[in-house]
Structure 1
Amino acid sequence: MADSYRYRCGECGHRTAWGSESRGAEAIEAHYDRSHPDVLPGGMVEFRKGSSCGGAGCLIVLGILVLLLIGLSRS
């Protein structure tokens, strides 16, 4: 999920690389400072579909959480 966000400039269509939400926000602000200094940052944020919690890693985390909940409910 760390590389699920990409920001697009509202003035020229520049796109940041896919990354975290905070890294993309910093990158688009730097772009605006460099290329559009008199304009407030705008544009849009794209979210990569299908990049959330896929594969076995998510199942392992879910399994651990279920076991923790069962253990906590018995104490």
Structure 2
Amino acid sequence: MANRYWCGECSFKTPWRAETEGLRRQLEHYADKHPGTPPGGQIETRRKYPNRGYGCLFLAAVALVLLTAVASCQH
């Protein structure tokens, strides 16, 4: 599942990343841009496409069907 961290002090937001990577980037942002301020803001969670691995599986299935159709037309 991917998360995006929003800064509570400015308009900064991290890219969509795993929880640990997003949190690390938010902490780095606060240390650099808002020293002495405890990290805050919002965490946005992407739920629509939590696992994109099925896209490749779908394309492989379509390719297999097309290959079968082409092979059957040649006989």
TM category (shorter chain) comes to 0.5 to 0.7
Report the equivalent of 1:25: 23
Task: Say whether 1:37 aligns with 2:35.
Answer: yes
Flag structure 1 segments of 5+ consecutive residues without an equivalent.
Answer: 58-75
TM-score normalised to structure 2 length = 0.65
Task: Say whether 1:15 aligns with 2:13.
Answer: yes
TM-score normalised to structure 1 length = 0.65
Q: Which runs of 4+ in 1 moved over 4 A?
A: none
Mapped partners of 2:55, 2:41: distance in 1? 35
Mapped partners of 1:13, 1:50: distance in 2? 24
Structure with the greater alpha carbon radius of gyration: 2
Report the equivalent of 2:70: none
CA RMSD of aligned residues (A): 1.7
Mapped partners of 2:32, 2:55: distance in 1? 42
Report the equivalent of 2:45: 47
Flag structure 2 segments of 5+ consecutive residues without an equivalent.
Answer: 57-75
1:38 Cα deviation after fit: 1.6
